[in-house]
Amino acid sequence: FKVSVVSTSPIDGQKPGTSGLRKKVKVYKQPHYLENFVQATFNALTPDKVKGATLVVSGDGRYYSEQAIQIIVKMAAANGVRRVWVGQNGLLSTPAVSAIIRERVGADGSRDTGAFILTASHNPGGPTEDFGIKYNMENGGQAPESVTDKIYENTKTIKEYPIAEDLPRVDISAIGITSFEGPELLLVARMGLSKTDDAAVEPPEFGAAADGDADRNMILGKRFFVTPSDSVAIIAANAVAAIPYFSSGLKGVARSMPTSAALDVVAKTLGLKFFEVPTGWNFFCNLMDAGMCSVCGEESFGTGSDYIREKDGIWAVLAWLSILAHKNKESLEGNAKLVTVEDIVRQHWATYGRHYYTRYDYENVDATAAKELMGLLVKLQSSLPEVNKIIKGIHPEVANVASADEFEYNDPVDGSVSKHQGIRYLFEDGSRLVFRLSGTGSEGATVRVYIEQYEKDASKISRDTQDALAPLVDVALKLSKLQEFTGRSSPTVIT
Q: Give the active site residues.
A: 121
Q: Residue 114 or 302: which CB sits closer to ligand VG1?
A: 302
Whether 447 and 437 have beta carbons less than 8 Å apart is answered as: yes
- Cβ atoms within 10 Å of 439's Cβ, excluding its own: 10
Question: What is the 8-class DSSP label of residue 15?
Answer: -
Under the criterion CB under 6 A, does residue 162 sit at the interface with ligand VG1? no
Site stretch for ligand VG1 (CB under 6 A), options 34-42, 221-229, 286-294, 298-306: 298-306
Under the criterion CB under 6 A, does residue 215 sit at the interface with ligand VG1? yes
d(CA 46, CA 458): 51
Q: Which residues pair with residue 91 across a beta bridge?
A: 59
Taking the complex as a whole, how short is the minimal distance between the CB of residue 302 and ligand VG1, in angstroms?
Answer: 5
> Helix, strand, or coil here: 400?
coil
Applying the rule CB under 5 A, the residues between 204 and 223 that interact with Co ion are 211, 213, 215-216
Strand 21-24 versus strand 295-298 pairing type: unpaired
Applying the rule CB under 5 A, the residues between 254 and 273 that interact with Co ion are none
d(CA 240, CA 244): 7
Q: Pick from Co ion, ligand VG1, none: which does 300 bind, CB < 5 to 8 A by kind?
A: ligand VG1
Q: Which of 66, 149, 205, 211 binds ligand VG1 (CB under 6 A)?
A: 211
Q: Which of 216, 348, 355, 432 binds ligand VG1 (CB under 6 A)?
A: 216
- Of 24, 117, 8, residue with least CA distance to 63: 24
The helix (H) or strand (E) run that includes residue 4 is strand 4-7
d(CA 234, CA 226): 10
Number of residues lying near ligand VG1 (CB under 6 A): 14
- Of 44, 95, 86, 39, residue with least CA distance to 65: 86
Question: What is the 8-class DSSP label of residue 98?
Answer: H
Taking the complex as a whole, how short is the minimal distance between the CB of residue 368 and ligand VG1, in angstroms?
Answer: 19
Applying the rule CB under 6 A, the residues between 437 and 456 that interact with ligand VG1 are 438-440, 448
In terms of phi and psi (left: phi > 0; alpha: psi -120 to 50; beta: otherwise), the region of 212 is alpha
Q: Pick from Co ion, ligand VG1, none: which does 298 bind, CB < 5 to 8 A by kind?
A: ligand VG1
Taking the complex as a whole, how short is the minimal distance between the CB of residue 439 and ligand VG1, in angstroms?
Answer: 3
Site stretch for ligand VG1 (CB under 6 A), options 168-176, 209-217, 285-293, 404-412: 209-217
Q: Which of 14, 43, 279, 286 binds ligand VG1 (CB under 6 A)?
A: 279
Under the criterion CB under 6 A, does residue 19 sit at the interface with ligand VG1? no
Question: What is the 8-class DSSP label of residue 89?
Answer: G
Q: Would you tell me which residues interact with ligand VG1 (CB under 6 A)?
A: 211, 215-216, 256, 279-281, 298, 300, 302, 438-440, 448
- Using CB under 5 A, list all residues that contact Co ion: 211, 213, 215-216
